């Protein structure tokens, strides 16, 4: 048996095999994977600013290679210059270093391996190269710091240039003296992004800001987080259905009006908030009007609660008088001159309502812009259309024109798109290319897109309306109001002189209603009445609405709820009604869930209820594709759309369970938007949890309580998901986004291809939705 090796023996053997300093310098190769691994082990540990294997680590090596090329070029030029000059002896000064070191001008330091316990590094890498690497790292950190400081300085200049900047102190002072303040400002004045930050600076740490749309919650939270230097922190967050970045450390939260009402339903006094900001009150959404009435009753009970109503300059006196003549801080917009061009379209005698929208007037606008304005003169186009079908029609024609001219990138914008596709409208177009954004009225006030110089206003909008005869709600197309037309026009004058093309006559504009019809006057009120009953706010007929709904609509809603068993003969909430009020769905779908649990049909009913509560997963352009129709045919049911959706969801889940198959390709080949299926899965899970909480799932139906090992595994998976989402957001935030020509969109799908293999690198990233699903 050989004697055991002593520590001295190991040291002598290591020293014997270690190359000398001269040999290591001769064989040195910065591109050697083993060399880079040793350096990363020493300098890029888990607790360091740059972590091994991270995107920041890759960016450093790219910077390092460029720095090496620059230094080699500089050295070769110096040698050529010194070759023809006589050498002079320069006396060395004891106080100055012989070689210049960047640390003398860089206000940073890097903790090297010699002070971090990596004693073994010196046996593998020469000290001279380690010092060279440390200097390169200093350069990289200094370069990043200067870049960040430059962006910060530019950000502060942009914030100071906003029209609302000079009104910040006035808003805070008025809020200090009054419980309710109305802030009225034109589009682009900065009220939605700056007022929450003014409150944060003033010391308020529990601020909620409501938005009528989910896309506005997400985009505003990201922007305010970026401006307040907490882009990757938890100080600013958002909370929407199925998704939340809110934590215990969150000081400003952007959330939808419906979520805030549900919080009031649980805690009527809202003790968790100091200030409530109700944004876009001028849009007069159903839940917004109800929220204003709830707040009006709550304020006397919470004298410490502050409320800020933010509105465009539309009918401001209505909101001020509703809250006992609340003070108004009016902020002027930053609008440049806008030229209005009326281009009325003559209706063809053969045109019927069932025919598609004629895209030719929109194409003529693009042609006139190309003819009149040179490509180097920047300015994008925003087109307002009434709905998704109209966007798809115009999109198809404009993309053909764009592919021919190579001067346009065409992008749709509507609420049915995934967040990633919606974010594309904020990206930068290549030089000499303009963006053409085809949008619904979501771009009127909720989303602000920089660089818009041209606006095309179709004059139409689709709104929900209630048919009392058929007892159904449906989207109908209407002419817009004068206030909406002015909002659309204002989008063209935020960054410079603009042009607004109105595809209707000036006489049509004069005939428009001054303001939009409030939603409470044109939609069914059964869900609102049910929510009011569950919140115990009293008789809906006497509730102090800012503008009361038609009495007939209230009576119809009450009668409908009585027929559904949600209200008894005295109009009190029944047990079924209490359950229905907890479910964030229409009354009919909620009742389906309850009856499904009673008849032991929970699993199929959960799927159908979720499918009917989200937008259709079938893309519009895929409906005309024979290949997609053939691939979808085995999933279609003769018993109606609900069962077709049931089959689609179950087949998709089966594909997800087979790791060898690609669910994205499977959806693309059938013309299905996978994002909607993820929404169905999330909503289905939420429905199941609600039924469990109310004891409507028994024994075999309910999810069994996990053992300690399963709970530990779930906690680990949640931590891993949080880390993946953090890395995904950081990578997306740091990457410069420049659009490519011919962005292939279909108005409803976020995928790049219809079929075929994924492009190279398409599967390299992490699909956060897929991780959450699993």
The tens digit of pLDDT for each residue in 559-585 reads 999 999 999 999 999 999 988 888 777
Q: How confident is the model at residue 135 (pLDDT cuts 50, 70, 90)?
A: confident
pLDDT higher than 60, residue 763: no
* Within a domain: 323: yes
Across all residues in the chain, what is the average pLDDT? 80
Q: For the segment 235-286, what is each residue's pLDDT rounded down to a tens digit?
A: 899 998 767 888 888 999 999 999 999 899 889 999 999 999 999 898 889 9
Higher pLDDT, 320 or 53: 320
Higher pLDDT, 102 or 180: 180
The whole-angstrom separation of Cα 595 and Cα 679 is 23
* Within a domain: 527: no
* Within a domain: 74: no
Q: H or E segment at 380? A: strand 380-384
Q: H or E segment at 236? A: strand 236-240
- Rounded to 5°, angle at Cα 158 from 152 and 163: 145
Predicted TM-score (pTM) of this structure: 0.70
Q: What is the pLDDT of residue 19?
A: 57
Quote the percentage of the chain above a pLDDT of 90.
Answer: 35
What are the strands of the beta sheet with 207-211, ordered from one edge?
243-244, 236-240, 252-256, 207-211, 275-278, 306-311, 180-185, 328-331
* Within a domain: 2: no
Q: Are residues 311 and 371 in the same domain?
A: no
Q: H or E segment at 340? A: strand 338-342
pLDDT higher than 50, residue 745: no
* Within a domain: 538: no
Q: Are residues 627 and 724 in the same domain?
A: yes
Q: Are residues 694 and 717 in the same domain?
A: yes
Higher pLDDT, 43 or 175: 175
Q: How confident is the model at residue 162 (pLDDT cuts 50, 70, 90)?
A: confident
Q: Provide mean pLDDT across the span 481-490.
A: 91
pLDDT higher than 70, residue 660: no
Q: What is the pLDDT of residue 751?
A: 36
* Within a domain: 59: yes
Range among 123-132, 187-196, 414-423 rated most confident? 187-196
Using the 3D structure, point to which of 280, 297, 331 is the last residue of a domain.
Answer: 331
Q: What is the pLDDT of residue 481?
A: 92
Residue 257, domain CATH: 3.40.50.300
Q: Are residues 391 and 512 in the same domain?
A: yes
Higher pLDDT, 214 or 608: 608
> Which residues have a Cβ under 8 Å from the Cβ of 297 and sit 6 or more positions away?
537, 544
Q: What is the pLDDT of residue 718?
A: 58
* Within a domain: 1: no
Q: How confident is the model at residue 703 (pLDDT cuts 50, 70, 90)?
A: very low
C-alpha count within 13 angstroms, C-beta hemisphere, residue 78: 6
Using the 3D structure, point to which of 108, 141, 159 is the last residue of a domain.
Answer: 159
Q: Are residues 650 and 707 in the same domain?
A: yes
Cβ(306)–Cβ(276) below 8 Å: yes
Count of Cβ atoms closer than 10 Å to residue 617 Cβ: 25
pLDDT higher than 50, residue 760: no
Q: Are residues 316 and 174 in the same domain?
A: yes
Which residues face 500 on adjacent strands? 340, 455
Q: Are residues 373 and 501 in the same domain?
A: yes
Q: Are residues 146 and 171 in the same domain?
A: no
Residue 606, burial from CB neighbour count under 10 angstroms (0-12, 13-18, 19+):
buried
Q: How confident is the model at residue 297 (pLDDT cuts 50, 70, 90)?
A: very high
The whole-angstrom separation of Cα 766 and Cα 367 is 41
Q: Are residues 590 and 704 in the same domain?
A: yes
* Within a domain: 430: yes
The whole-angstrom separation of Cα 121 and Cα 110 is 16
The whole-angstrom separation of Cα 585 and Cα 31 is 59
Q: What is the pLDDT of residue 376?
A: 84
> Which residues have a Cβ under 8 Å from the Cβ of 426 and sit 6 or more positions away?
219, 449, 450, 737
The whole-angstrom separation of Cα 539 and Cα 551 is 12
pLDDT higher than 80, residue 2: no
Question: What tokens were used for 554?
Answer: 């209230």
pLDDT higher than 80, residue 382: yes
Q: What is the pLDDT of residue 726?
A: 56
Coil, helix or strand for 538?
A: coil
Cβ(277)–Cβ(529) below 8 Å: no
The whole-angstrom separation of Cα 442 and Cα 452 is 15
Question: What is the number of structural domains in the chain?
Answer: 4
CB neighbour burial string for 302-316, b if at least 16 within 10 angstroms, e if fewer: beebbbbbbbbbbbb
- Can you give the residue range of the structural domain that contains 60? 14-69+99-159
Q: What is the pLDDT of residue 501?
A: 97
Q: How confident is the model at residue 468 (pLDDT cuts 50, 70, 90)?
A: low
Which residue has 């505003």 as its token pair?
220
The whole-angstrom separation of Cα 481 and Cα 510 is 10
Q: Provide mean pLDDT across the span 531-537.
A: 91
Cβ(622)–Cβ(596) below 8 Å: no
Q: Compute φ and ψ for 485, nearest 5 degrees.
A: -60, -40
Q: How confident is the model at residue 507 (pLDDT cuts 50, 70, 90)?
A: very high
Cβ(255)–Cβ(241) below 8 Å: no
pLDDT higher than 80, residue 504: yes
Coil, helix or strand for 509?
A: helix
Q: Provide mean pLDDT across the span 59-84.
A: 78
Q: What is the pLDDT of residue 360?
A: 93
Q: Are residues 570 and 611 in the same domain?
A: yes
The whole-angstrom separation of Cα 571 and Cα 131 is 81
Give the chain's end-to-end CA distance (angstroms, integer).
54
Residue 443, burial from CB neighbour count under 10 angstroms (0-12, 13-18, 19+):
buried
Q: Are residues 515 and 608 in the same domain?
A: no
Coil, helix or strand for 155?
A: helix
Using alpha carbons, list the distances in angstroms from residue 27 to 37, 114, 227, 493.
17, 23, 48, 63
The whole-angstrom separation of Cα 590 and Cα 472 is 16
Q: Which long-range contacts (CB under 8 A, 24 or more apart) does 390-394 make?
A: 390/357, 390/458, 390/460, 391/438, 391/439, 391/440, 391/747, 392/620, 392/621, 392/746, 392/747, 392/748, 393/356, 393/357, 393/359, 394/357, 394/359, 394/362, 394/438
Q: For the segment 185-243, what is each residue's pLDDT rounded down to a tens digit?
A: 877 788 999 999 999 999 999 999 999 888 788 888 988 988 887 766 678 999 987 67
Q: Are residues 127 and 51 in the same domain?
A: yes
Q: Provide mean pLDDT across the span 732-758.
A: 47
Cβ(331)–Cβ(174) below 8 Å: no
Q: What is the pLDDT of residue 559?
A: 93
Using alpha carbons, list the distances in angstroms from residue 81 to 84, 86, 91.
6, 11, 22
The whole-angstrom separation of Cα 198 and Cα 172 is 8
Using the 3D structure, point to which of 491, 521, 551 is the last residue of a domain.
Answer: 521
Using alpha carbons, list the distances in angstroms from residue 317 to 174, 314, 321, 325, 556.
17, 9, 6, 8, 31
The DSSP symbol for 692 reads H
Which residue has 């430059």 as its token pair?
150
CB neighbour burial string for 546-584, b if at least 16 within 10 angstroms, e if fewer: bebbeeebbebbbebbbebebbeeeeebbebbebbbebb
């Amino acid at each position: 048996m050989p004697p055991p090796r002593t520590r001295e023996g190991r040291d002598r053997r290591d020293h014997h095999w270690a190359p000398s300093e001269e040999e290591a310098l001769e064989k040195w190769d910065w591109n050697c994977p083993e060399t880079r691994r040793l350096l990363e082990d020493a300098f890029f540990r888990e607790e360091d600013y740059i972590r091994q294997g991270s995107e920041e680590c890759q960016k450093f090596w790219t910077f390092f290679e460029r720095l090496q090329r620059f230094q080699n070029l500089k050295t070769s030029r110096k040698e050529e210059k010194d070759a023809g000059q006589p050498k002079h002896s320069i006396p060395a000064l004891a106080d100055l270093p012989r070689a210049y070191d960047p640390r003398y001008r860089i206000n940073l330091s890097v903790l090297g391996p010699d002070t971090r316990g990596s004693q073994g590094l010196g046996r593998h890498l020469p000290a001279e190269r380690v010092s060279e690497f440390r200097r390169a790292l200093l350069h990289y950190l200094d370069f990043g710091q200067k870049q960040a400081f430059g962006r910060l300085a530019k950000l502060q200049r942009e914030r100071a240039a906003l029209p609302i900047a000079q009104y910040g102190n006035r808003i805070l002072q008025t809020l200090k003296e009054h419980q309710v303040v109305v802030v009225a400002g034109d589009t682009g004045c900065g009220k939605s992004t700056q007022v929450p930050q003014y409150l944060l600076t003033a010391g308020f740490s529990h601020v909620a800001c409501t938005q009528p749309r989910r896309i506005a919650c997400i985009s505003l939270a990201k922007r305010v987080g970026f401006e307040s230097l907490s882009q990757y922190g938890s100080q600013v967050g958002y909370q929407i259905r199925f998704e939340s970045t809110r934590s215990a450390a969150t000081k400003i939260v952007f959330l939808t009006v419906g979520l805030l009402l549900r919080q009031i339903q649980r805690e009527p006094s809202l003790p968790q908030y100091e200030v409530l900001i109700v944004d876009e009150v001028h849009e007069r959404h159903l839940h917004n009007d109800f929220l204003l009435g709830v707040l009006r009753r709550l304020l006397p009970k919470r004298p410490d609660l502050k409320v800020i109503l933010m509105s465009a300059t539309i009918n401001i006196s209505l909101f001020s008088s509703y809250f006992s003549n609340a003070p108004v801080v009016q902020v002027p917009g930053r609008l440049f001159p806008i030229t209005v061009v009326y281009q009325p379209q003559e209706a063809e005698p053969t045109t019927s309502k069932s025919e598609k929208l004629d895209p030719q007037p929109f194409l003529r606008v693009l042609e006139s812009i190309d003819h009149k304005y040179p490509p180097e003169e920047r300015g994008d186009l925003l087109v307002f259309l009434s709905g998704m079908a109209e966007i798809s029609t115009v999109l198809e024609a404009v993309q053909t024109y764009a592919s021919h001219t190579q001067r346009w990138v065409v992008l749709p914008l509507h609420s049915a798109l995934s967040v990633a596709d919606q974010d594309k409208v904020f990206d930068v177009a290549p030089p000499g290319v303009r963006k053409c954004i085809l949008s619904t009225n979501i771009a009127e006030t909720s989303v602000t897109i920089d660089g818009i110089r041209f606006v095309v206003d179709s004059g139409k909008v689709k709104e929900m309306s209630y048919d009392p005869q058929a007892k159904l709600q449906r989207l109908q197309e209407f002419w817009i109001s004068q206030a909406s037309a002015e909002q659309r026009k204002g989008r063209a004058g935020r960054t410079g002189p603009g042009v607004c093309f109105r595809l209707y006559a000036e006489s049509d504009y004069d005939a428009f209603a001054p303001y939009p019809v409030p939603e409470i006057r044109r939609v069914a009120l059964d869900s609102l009445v049910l929510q009011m009953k569950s919140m115990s706010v009293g008789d809906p007929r006497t509730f102090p609405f800012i503008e009361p709904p038609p009495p007939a609509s209230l009576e119809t809603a009450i009668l409908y709820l009585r027929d559904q068993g949600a209200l008894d003969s005295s109009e009190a909430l029944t047990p079924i009604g209490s359950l229905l009020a907890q479910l964030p769905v229409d009354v009919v779908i909620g009742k389906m869930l309850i009856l499904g649990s009673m008849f032991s049909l929970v699993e199929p009913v959960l799927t159908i209820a979720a499918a009917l509560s989200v937008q259709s997963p079938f893309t519009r352009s895929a409906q005309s594709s024979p290949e997609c129709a053939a691939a979808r045919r085995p999933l279609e049911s003769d018993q109606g759309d609900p069962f077709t959706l049931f089959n689609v969801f179950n087949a998709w889940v089966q594909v997800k369970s087979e790791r060898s198959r690609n669910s994205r390709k499977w959806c693309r080949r059938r013309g299905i938007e996978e994002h909607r299926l993820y929404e169905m899965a999330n909503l289905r899970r939420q429905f199941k949890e609600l039924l469990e909480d109310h004891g409507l799932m028994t024994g075999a139906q309910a999810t069994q309580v996990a053992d300690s090992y399963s709970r530990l595994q779930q906690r680990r998976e949640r931590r891993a998901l949080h880390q993946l989402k953090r890395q995904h957001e950081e990578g997306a935030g740091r990457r410069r986004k420049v659009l490519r020509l011919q962005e292939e969109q279909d108005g409803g799908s976020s995928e790049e291809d219809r079929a075929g293999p994924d492009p190279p690198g398409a599967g390299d990233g992490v699909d956060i939705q897929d991780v959450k699903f699993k």
